[in-house]
Amino acid sequence: MSDLQMKCLRCSVDMDPGYLADGGHGVNSEVAKWVAGAPDVRWYGVKMKGHDQIPLSAYRCAKCGYVEFRAIAATDI
Ligand SMILES: [Zn+2]
């Protein structure tokens, strides 16, 4: 995660950092991830092994509610 300060493209105000919770099908929630490539759907779900995965950061504008995502790998910053 980075300390990137996002501004809303519509309102030009600072956006609040957060994340997208992924309920999945288990009991525990996870942070939603960006996964490289096309979804490889199998009988048990989507196979993600071998695909690059980056946790998504979500930035929300408190004024208009616009949400923007960033997928920044630790190696990108
Ligand atoms: Zn806004």
The whole-number pLDDT of residue 24 equals 66
User: Does 77 have pLDDT greater than 90?
Assistant: no
Alpha-helical runs (H) found in 1-77: none
CB 57 within 8 A of CB 6: no
The whole-number pLDDT of residue 1 equals 47
1 domain-assigned: no
Q: Read off the pLDDT band of 76 (50, 70, 90).
A: low
Give the N- to C-terminal CA distance of the chain in Å, as an integer. Answer: 9
Q: What pLDDT, in 10s, does the model give residues 3-61?
A: 678 999 999 999 999 999 887 666 678 889 999 999 999 998 889 899 999 999 999 99
Question: Which residues form the domain of 29?
Answer: 16-76
Number of domains in the chain: 1
Nearest-angstrom CA–CA distance, 15 and 23: 24
Tokens 């525990």, residue? 28
Rounded to the nearest angstrom, the distance between the alpha carbon of 68 and the centre of ligand 1 is 10
36 domain-assigned: yes
2 domain-assigned: no
Rounded to the nearest angstrom, the distance between the alpha carbon of 49 and the centre of ligand 1 is 36
Rounded to the nearest angstrom, the distance between the alpha carbon of 7 and the centre of ligand 1 is 8
pTM of the model: 0.76
